[in-house]
A and B are shown apart, each in its own frame.
Chain A
Amino acid sequence: ILNVEQSPQSLHVQEGDSTNFTCSFPSSNFYALHWYRWETAKSPEALFVMTLNGDEKKKGRISATLNTKEGYSYLYIKGSQPEDSATYLCAFPNYGGSQGNLIFGKGTKLSVKP
């Protein structure tokens, strides 16, 4: 059974702080890694899909890197804002991605204090 681990479980930062968290996944038979953001009372939304070792993706103040050889991805938020408060989930395609469904980690819950 595939296991996707995320750390830390929760994080409390002040507005303006930069922060990062980790997603670990099986390094053998890597296919792709997805990052989602889930704000309270809203729908989870896709942030990034990463497929290549060394990949780096950016969306505004949020960026992500990928190391498939060692099996981890980092998500960075530069200058955190209260609106960044959310649970950040990473996910790994199940069955080699042939069916499209995902195995999710437990998430990192980020709280940004004004």
Chain B
Amino acid sequence: EAGVAQSPRYKIIEKRQSVAFWCNPISGHATLYWYQQILGQGPKLLIQFQNNGVVDDSQLPKDRFSAERLKGVDSTLKIQPAKLEDSAVYLCASSGITGITAEQYFGPGTRLTVT
């Protein structure tokens, strides 16, 4: 079974530029998560999709971040414009079920550096 795919793996941009990350979850997984992991911190949920609907985006900085999952499969996370504090690893995860024991399957992440 193919894992969660993410691209690009690394990205360096200047502040105020825009950037987009792509995620393709495990086939058949209805739930997709985007996490932000800043150095020295644990991953923090940005947004959760169930199929193509948003379940939780309470911690997404909506003035600059946006995400979509139009066909309920792959997803794009965008930052526009980027700030220095957006430097982080952006992880995508998917799961086939929801609930307290639901295992999340992660992609390798995109490491973003904003200069």
A and B assemble together: yes
Cβ–Cβ contact A97 & B100, under 8 A: yes
Cβ–Cβ contact A46 & B108, under 8 A: no
Please classify how large the interface on chain B is, using the bins under 10, 10 to 19, 20 to 34, 35 or more: 20 to 34
- Minimum Cβ distance to chain B for residue A98 (Å): 8
Cβ–Cβ contact A94 & B101, under 8 A: no
- Minimum Cβ distance to chain B for residue A21 (Å): 14
Residues in chain B within 8 A of chain A (CB atoms): 3-4, 31, 33, 35, 40-45, 48, 55-56, 91, 93, 95, 97-109
Cβ–Cβ contact B42 & A43, under 8 A: no
Cβ–Cβ contact A99 & B48, under 8 A: yes
Residues in chain A within 8 A of chain B (CB atoms): 4, 6, 31-32, 34, 36, 41-46, 49, 51, 89, 91, 93-107
CB-CB under 8 A for A89 and B42, given A45-B106, A46-B103, A99-B55? yes
